Amino acid sequence: LRTLRPIHEMRAALQPHQKEGATIGFVPTMGALHEGHASLIRLARMKCDVIVVSIFVNPTQFGPNEDYDAYPRTLDEDSRKLIDENVDFLFMPDAKEIYPSGASTSISMANFATEFEGAIRPHHFDGVATVVAALFNIVSPTIAFFGQKDAQQVAVVKRMTRDLHFPLEIMVGPTIREADGLALSSRNRFLNGTERQEAVGLSKALFLMEKQALAGVGLEVARSAALELLTHCAPSAVLDYLEAVDSETFRKIGSFEAVETCTIVIAARFGKIRLLDNIVIRPGK
Ligand code: AMP
C-alpha cells in the first residue's frame, strides 16, 4: 500500500500503469472502513489491475448542522484493512488542495436529486457530485465502484458521469449487512445499545415490504404494514421517509403493478444518528 496525499503525486504514481494499459479500479470512501467498503475493494480487485482507494471526508457534502467534525476518522485501522485487501494506492488528499483557495465551481444536482436525501440535505448531492468529479479527474479510473447502500448517491453519480461524459464505468456493489440485517455504516458505531437494537427495524420494514410486493399486495397496504412493523421494532425512531421509487430517477412510483423493478428507500433518526437503507425489488416478476 502506497499512501499519497498531494494530487500531483497521485497522478504521477498512476501514470506508468496507465501507459502500460492497466485498468484502474477506484473506490472513493470517507474512511472508517468496514466490510461494506471491503466488499467494494474485492469487487474492484476482481475487475481491475490496479486499485486506488481514496479516504476524504468531503466538507462540501455536509450541511452546517451535520456531523463533519464528528465523522469517525480511523486512519491506522483503515490502513491495516487496505493492506489486508491488497490495495495498491491510498489517496488521502488535503481539503485545501481539493478545494483551492477561491474555488468557485460546483456541480448542481438540484434539478435531479430534489427528493429524499436531496430534500433533507439541501447541498449534499452538489458536494458529492463535485468531489466525485474532481476525484475522477485526478485518478482517471477505468471503473469506479459505489455501494448500493447509498442508492440515491449511485443515481446521482451515474447521472453526473453520463452528463459530463466521463470516460469510465460505474459499478455498483451490493449492500453488506450485519447478521440481523442492519446495513453496515460508518455511523453505526455511534448507536447506543437500544438504538442499535431498534435500528434493525429499517431492514425489517424493507424486507416486509418486499415480501408483500412479491405476494401481490398493493403499495399502500404494504407500506402501512412496513410502517407498523417499524413502529413496533423501533418505537423511538423518527422516520424521515419510506417510499418506493424509480431506481434511476428517484421519483416516487404510484403502484407496484406499474413497474418491473423499483427501489424502496428508508431513512430514520435514532437519537442523533441518521441511518439510511434501501432494497431493489422486482414486483413485476
Ligand atoms: P462512505 O465511506 O460511507 O462514503 O462510503 C464509501 C462507499 O462505500 C460508498 O460507495 C458507499 O455506498 C459504500 N458503502 C457504505 N456502506 C456500505 C455497505 N453496508 N455495503 C456496501 N457498500 C457500502
**30 and 55 in contact (C-beta within 8 Å)?**
yes
Protein residue with least CA distance to atom 7, ligand 1: 29
Distance 17 CA to ligand 1 centre (A): 26
Could you identify the atom of ligand 1 that is nearest to the CA of residue 148? 12
- CA distance linking residue 189 with residue 25, whole number of Å: 28
The pLDDT of residue 113 is above 70: yes
Based on the residue annotation, tell me whether 37 is a catalytic residue of this protein: yes
Q: pLDDT confidence of 87, banded at 50, 70, 90?
A: very high
Task: Look at residue 285 in the predicted model and tell me its pLDDT.
Answer: 60
pLDDT per residue over 261-280, tens digit each?
Answer: 999 999 999 999 999 999 99
Please compute the mean of the pLDDT values over residues 109-123 and round it to a whole number. 96
pLDDT above 70 covers what percent of the chain?
Answer: 100
User: Other C-beta atoms within 10 Å of 164: how many?
Assistant: 12
Q: 53 CA distance to ligand 1 centroid (A)?
A: 12
Which of 17, 34, 37, 124 is flagged as catalytic?
A: 37
> What per-residue string of b and e applies to 14-35 under the rule 16 or more CB within 10 Å gives b?
beebeeeeebbbbbbbbbbbbe
138-162 tens-digit pLDDT: 999 999 999 999 999 999 999 999 9
**What's residue 250's pLDDT?**
96
Q: Is the Cα torsion angle 66, 122, 246, 257 positive or negative in sign?
A: positive
Contacts of 160 (CB under 8 A, 6+ apart): 107, 109, 129, 132, 133, 166
**Could you tell me the pLDDT band of residue 75, with boundaries at 50, 70 and 90?**
very high
